[in-house]
């Protein structure tokens, strides 16, 4: 009995030591992440939806979440200016990466968007904006991203095969793509949505359009 108690005790001590070691490793690791200068992070946008000239000198990546009200606001306030001033003029190539900070609904929205990107790439951005448009202005925490609602939104697009989209959602067919986005989120150290990264430089305030403009001009100059 005593022997047993002793070995139990030993087990507890080992477990505690192990937990402390893991914690220490996590602290060291996250400190290391934090000391990395934000402007040296290169983001691999392979397989991500992209808008604008592939050879544009400046790359902007938005990390966003369909369930996030600030992302919807960013899409309405900042994004249209970017399109007119920099994307359509060939200065910026714009990409979007899914973030799942709001749980299952974020995941479902991302799975559906990745499915549309795979099957009907030409209307990806229209579907993307339609999803954000469907986000309720009030009480956005209440559940609204459901398979039924997504199919309803998709029904506005004749290009989308409803049966295949439903299948993709049921079977989480594009989960691998969503996981790839999650890896990027972790790698880049995205802590809020939307996060805007301009040629590897993370913007402090995604709603400061003047700062975004300066960052684009600077990135363009650095390339020249």
> Are the C-beta atoms of 92 and 99 separated by less than 8 Å?
no
* Stretch of 23-31, 162-170, 177-185, 192-200 lying at the interface with Ca ion (CB under 5 A): 177-185
* Stretch of 33-41, 44-52, 67-75, 78-86 lying at the interface with Ca ion (CB under 5 A): 44-52
- Helix (H), strand (E), coil (C) string for 110-155: HHHHHHHHHHCHHHHHHHHHHHHHCCCCCCCCCCCCCHHHHHHHHC
Query: Which residues partner with 98 through β-bridges?
Result: 64
Q: How far is the CB of 212 from Ca ion (least distance, A)?
A: 22
* Stretch of 5-13, 126-134, 153-161, 178-186 lying at the interface with Ca ion (CB under 5 A): 178-186
Note whether 62 binds Ca ion by CB under 5 A.
Answer: no
State which residue, 64 or 206, has the beta carbon closest to Ca ion: 64
* Stretch of 15-23, 47-55, 120-128, 183-191 lying at the interface with Ca ion (CB under 5 A): 47-55
> Are the C-beta atoms of 33 and 67 separated by less than 8 Å?
no
Give the CA distances from residue 197 to residues 6, 95, 100, 115, 214, in Å, rounded to whole numbers and listed in that order. 54, 10, 18, 25, 13
Q: How far is the CB of 159 from Ca ion (least distance, A)?
A: 19
> Are the C-beta atoms of 109 and 150 separated by less than 8 Å?
yes
> Which of 112, 181, 202, 215 is in the footprint of Ca ion by CB under 5 A?
181
Neighbours of 159 (CB within 10 A): 13
Q: How far is the CB of 138 from Ca ion (least distance, A)?
A: 29
Q: Which residues in this chain contact Ca ion in the complex, by CB under 5 A?
A: 48, 181
């Amino acid at each position: 009995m005593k022997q047993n108690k002793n070995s139990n005790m030993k087990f507890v001590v080992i477990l505690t030591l192990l937990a402390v070691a893991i914690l220490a490793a996590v602290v060291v690791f996250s400190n290391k992440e934090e000391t990395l200068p934000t402007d040296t992070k290169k983001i691999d946008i392979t397989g991500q939806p992209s808008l604008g000239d592939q050879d544009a000198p400046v790359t902007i990546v938005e990390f966003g979440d369909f369930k996030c009200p600030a992302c919807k606001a960013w899409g309405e306030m900042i994004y249209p200016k970017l399109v007119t001033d920099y994307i359509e003029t060939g200065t910026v190539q714009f990409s979007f990466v899914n973030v799942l900070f709001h749980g299952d609904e974020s995941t479902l929205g991302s799975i559906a968007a990745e499915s549309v990107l795979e099957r009907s790439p030409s209307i990806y951005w229209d579907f993307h904006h339609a999803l954000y448009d469907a986000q309720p202005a009030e009480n956005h925490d209440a559940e609204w991203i459901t398979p039924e609602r997504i199919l309803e939104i998709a029904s506005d697009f004749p290009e989308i095969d409803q049966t295949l989209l439903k299948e993709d959602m049921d079977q989480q067919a594009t989960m691998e793509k969503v996981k790839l986005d999650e890896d990027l989120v972790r790698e880049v150290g995205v802590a809020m949505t939307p996060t805007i990264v301009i040629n590897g430089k993370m913007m402090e305030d995604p709603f400061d359009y003047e700062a975004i403009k300066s960052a684009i001009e600077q990135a363009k100059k650095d390339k020249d």
